[in-house]
Structure 1
Amino acid sequence: MTQPPIAAKSIPAPLGKTIYPKPYAALLQGRLKRKLGKYFGLTHFGVNLTHLLPGAISALAHSHSQQEEFILVLEGSPTLVLGQEEFVLQPGDCYGFQAGTGLAHQLVNRSEASVTYLEIGDRIEGDEVEYPNDDLKATQLPNGEWALTRKDGSTLGDL
């Protein structure tokens, strides 16, 4: 049986949900990520409809070793932090993040209005995520889940 189309905004998503541990998790309290691809059972790539309230961030500044990402701004004016540079984006602006460059990126909503963007990424196995501004590293496990450690590989314990 086929599934009928659905309004993207009707797919449930808890505000502020993240895999980051404390204290990093608190930084994402204003982010709402609807996992559209997961809802439809897609396994080769992910598609997220993400909303950032004023002052919210998309993620900690990070770079992927294997996985690539693409964003398309639908509403609002987020700031793209790309390494040491910053760019204010407008609806219709897009950017692609190549894997393996080491160039950290994140979106920050410094405006007084909400931001909505589409985020697409592949799911190539064996990905590692570096966070240059934080003592955190993420490693993708064979089952697709993520293991978080300190940069030296030690457990996070109490941060």
Structure 2
Amino acid sequence: MPHTKRPAFIRHYRDIQNDDTARLRGTDEPRSIGSPFSPALGLTRLGIHHELLPPGRRTSFPHAESAEEEFVYVIEGTPDVWIDGELFRLAPGDGVGFPAGTGIAHSFLNNTDQPVRLLVVGEANKPENRIVYPVNPELRALRTDWWEDAPARPLGPHDGKARPPE
């Protein structure tokens, strides 16, 4: 039986993948390569992304958010999740949740020599959301939504930067 043409709300991540030009704000550091599903599928309440994380890259500066929850699922590879200055190795099938308002700072780093693929699901941008970068306070100057009263959390020794094996 022949297949009917797919509706516009069915998409493959490669068809909506951004080019490899995204940089961490205010730097020349390349970040993950995103496929933003939500706008492509007409979703307005959820932020859903496929993230391809090449070796030696990270998804973001370590950050915490005041009003938006986030969930990250490892599809492929073995990334490290940076949580409050400590690294935790993940494997395919692992999921990590970040409740809003906790101040738990996080980022995903590819410290391996293989690509990592992540599914990132969060709430769509909320105007009341605030963000803090505890190891990059210089970013305050670039933000109008800085989270001034974020819960203070002790930070471990890791600086939040990816380091692939040599």
Task: Please give the TM-score of this superposition, normalised by the length of structure 1.
Answer: 0.79
Matching residue of 1:85: 86
* Unpaired segments ≥5 residues, structure 1: 139-146, 154-159
Deviation at 1:41, TM superposition (A): 1.8
Q: 2:139 aligns with which of 132, 136, 139?
A: 136
Matching residue of 2:143: 148
Rg larger in structure? 2
Deviation at 1:152, TM superposition (A): 10
* Unpaired segments ≥5 residues, structure 2: 1-6, 149-166
Counterpart secondary structure, 1:136? helix
Matching residue of 1:68: 69
Tell me, in whole angstroms, the C-alpha distance in 2 between the residues paired with 1:66 and 1:152: 10
- Answer 1 or 2: which has greater strand percent: 1
Q: Which has the higher contact order (CA 8 A, sep 6+)?
A: 2
Aligned residues: 140
**Percent of residue pairs bearing the same amino acid type:** 29
| 2:16 maps to 1:17 | no
Task: Please give the TM-score of this superposition, normalised by the length of structure 2.
Answer: 0.76
* Cα shift readout 1:119-138 (whole Å, capped 9, x = no counterpart): 00002331111001111249
Matching residue of 1:106: 107
Deviation at 1:84, TM superposition (A): 2.7
Counterpart secondary structure, 1:56? coil
| RMSD of Structure 2 on Structure 1 (CA) | 2.4
The amino acid of 2:17's aligned partner reads P
Deviation at 1:149, TM superposition (A): 5.1
